[in-house]
Amino acid sequence: MSDKDNQDPAPVPVLTAAADVSGVVPVLTSAVAVGPGEAETPTLTEAHAPQMAAPTGLSDEALLVLRSRLAVMTRDLTERLLEESLSELETALFEKVSSRLREQLPDMLEQALRDHFDPQD
């Protein structure tokens, strides 16, 4: 084993109420080029920051708990949706392969049997 294998993994950053998330959390600052007839996408700038301030009545700790809960709920939803999508994809692929086998296998077997029992040499 190398020294790299023995090293502990990098620590996972944890957000605290006083954490500075600038540079960690991506912020939309510009829109993708808009084609003719498309509505322009609003951009997130410093002007929007006051609207995103912590709601009144929530302490820093309560806000931190809310953020953590939202992160867990988002992760769980993402995981569930991915599992459902993979299951649906697996079912669709199985049906496609089965259908192609039903279509092509009889002809393939017939050709193999003809080649074996009726060689044209």
Give the pLDDT band (50/70/90) at residue 113: very high
The token pair that represents 101 in the structure block: 């086998």
For residue 60, the one-letter residue type is D
**pLDDT tens by residue, 18-75:** 555 555 555 556 655 556 666 555 555 555 554 555 556 788 888 899 999 999 999 9
Residue 72 to residue 64: CA distance in whole angstroms? 12
Residue 26 to residue 65: CA distance in whole angstroms? 21
SS3 22: strand
Residue 19 to residue 29: CA distance in whole angstroms? 21
The pLDDT value given to residue 25: 56
Q: Taking the domains of the chain in order of start, what are their residue ranges?
A: 3-117
Residue 96 to residue 87: CA distance in whole angstroms? 14
The answer to whether residues 41 and 31 touch, using CB atoms and an 8 Å cutoff, is: yes
